[in-house]
A and B are shown apart, each in its own frame.
Chain A
């Protein structure tokens, strides 16, 4: 995958990150996950991401379709392979690794 390198470049519009963040209402983990995720996105993927936040309590059937078990869970739909991340997104290096964001230029 040649596009992998330099994904962080905001000008490459085709590498838009499409992500869904599943949370459960306003639980501590969920709020932390939302704020952590927003921070990461603003920092590394500025103008280059779509983050949809879904409250599983409101849509329980989606939990079955997406095989949701542990929450909060982030699903990266694009680009590339679909990846799942669980947790409150506090472990930033792991989040970046999971999202395949090249964080070497940190």
Chain B
């Protein structure tokens, strides 16, 4: 089981620093050992042939010179100095030059039983003198003895040899040099000749295992007297830059979080995720069956990230980078320009290239070099082929852990084949991720269409709807699916439904306008009727008025005539005046 030893260790060291340490400069090893090898003491590095003992020791010396300005002595019992120089030249270590600069001194000790006759008591003073001379001549702080066990092959008297080795390690301590002694792994023991008896301060075991035809190098600190250390087996890698150890795993969940958002590169997906996209530093899983556009989603994300002037690292485990660039061009995503501008970097490797741990180390290294804000792994499913599900899960936990610590957003894509794998892959890691988009085939009416769900998205409001996911020449888009009387409609069925409804609307509209016109006509007719009635009424009214007026007039005239008649009858002028005043 992996534990959180490395962080514990750091805290411990802060509290009480008793043992001084010499940093190795080897990436990762210093973290695993909590600062390096015990200063002024010998360390035993053991392992089988070809596990990297010599490489580790040489790197310790060379990095000591280059990074910490501590000269070093390499005493080799196996390879000649010149051979060694050629062997490590591939790592860019120029031993010849460092020797000329008096930073490194190399001494090849050759001993062969065939050439030597033992004639009594002896000691290894010659070795001491040579070593002492080498150390003093360049004021070395670091010493490597690779592989001192060869002495056992060259000398018969083991009793003397053992006594002398004990003396040698004490002497090295007295000299105050930090030494690495390498030893070949023995059966049932750490070293063939039991060197661990003499070197008791720090023992590092290197291992090279082949599981499922894939080899993984591992390192374990067997003991480290006076210091807490990581007890796990740590995978390490030897590549063109030397050794890289991966300090896994701190499983404590105290990562910093941010509520900053990062767009998914597809506006309609952002809409489904509360309108703003993913959280920065979160992990996103995109899963789906074959050909559902997982890589396209990932590429769109990469494109969006690069457009917002952030760096993106794309690990392609299935298609070659060139292939992805070409394929994405067909959906109007130009990744090439981002590669040219240095915002996007592809890292293509077949999963079977090396073991899971190695992948993790390689991913770590690339991330630390490129310092991206987004990392894409496409796809993670293939890792199953090189490790069991729990191993893959473990690796991803560690990766997510590391990325969260660095505030890097990560998107995984995962292929789901059928129900079985769907259950396995997705569920194994779905609990780890913060957001899970699932693209699913919706098969109906003799065609396949893609539907996208947001299965989960921690800490934000997200749509619970299925959207149709459309990949067109212009890119990716989500369309709200049509929910018709027969269920969800997608693809041409959706188009047909839309057309049908559009036709319906047109017919309806036509019908409406016809009715409108009819009403209009009716109104006109009625209005015409109203006006004729009006005029009729007016003429009748006029007729009536005429009668009234005539009657009135007649009345007045009659009245007047009557008065005139009366006055004439009375012959009275006064009546005239009176009537006038009235």
Taking Cβ atoms with an 8 Å cutoff, the residues of A that contact B are: 22, 24, 27, 29, 32-33, 36, 56-57, 60-61, 63-64, 67-74, 83-91, 94-95, 97-98
Contacts and interface: CB of A to CB of B under 8 A. Distances in A.
B129 A57 contact: yes
B130 interface: yes
A72 B124 CA distance: 9
A94 B122 CA distance: 14
B130 A70 contact: no
Interface stretch (B109-117, B220-228, B287-295, B335-343): B109-117
Given A57-B129, A60-B132, A70-B122, A84 B109 contact: no
A22 B116 CA distance: 14
B106 to A, nearest CB: 10
Nearest to B151: A69
Contacts of A91: 118-120
A86 B116 contact: yes
A27 B125 contact: yes
B570 to A, nearest CB: 183
B126 interface: yes
Given A84-B116, A85-B116, A29 B111 contact: no
A29 B119 CA distance: 11
A67 B150 CA distance: 14
B123 interface: yes
Interface in B108-166: 109-111, 115-127, 129-130, 132-133, 151, 154-155
Contact of A86 (B110, B119, B129, B133): B119
A88 B122 contact: yes
Please classify the interface of chain B as helix (H, G, I), strand (E, B), loop, or mixed, using the class held by over half of its residues.
mixed
A97 B119 CA distance: 10
Contacts of B132: 60
Looking at B107, B124, B129, the one whose CB has the most chain A CB atoms below 10 A away is B129
A24 B118 contact: no
A97 B117 contact: yes
Contacts of B126: 22, 24, 56, 63, 68-71, 73
A70 B123 contact: yes
Contacts of A33: 120
A63 B130 contact: yes
Contact of A70 (B107, B124, B133): B124
Contact of B130 (A29, A60, A90, A97): A60
A94 B117 contact: yes
Given A67-B110, A85-B116, A86-B117, A61 B133 contact: yes
A74 B322 CA distance: 68
16 contacts: A56-B125, A63-B133, A64-B107, A69-B126, A69-B151, A71-B123, A73-B126, A84-B115, A86-B155, A87-B118, A87-B120, A87-B122, A88-B120, A89-B119, A94-B118, A95-B117
Of A64, A74, A84, the most chain B CB neighbours within 10 A belong to A64
B166 to A, nearest CB: 16
B177 to A, nearest CB: 17
A-B complex: 7 closest residue pairs judged by Cβ atoms: A87-B120, A98-B117, A68-B126, A60-B133, A90-B120, A87-B119, A88-B120
Contacts of B122: 29, 70-73, 86-88
Interface core residue of B119, B124, B125, B151 (most chain A CB under 10 Å): B119
Interface centre among A32, A57, A73, A87 (most CB of B within 10 A): A87
Contacts of B110: 67
Contacts of A70: 116, 122-127, 155
A68 B349 CA distance: 50
A67 B111 contact: yes
Contacts of A69: 109, 111, 124, 126-127, 130, 151, 154
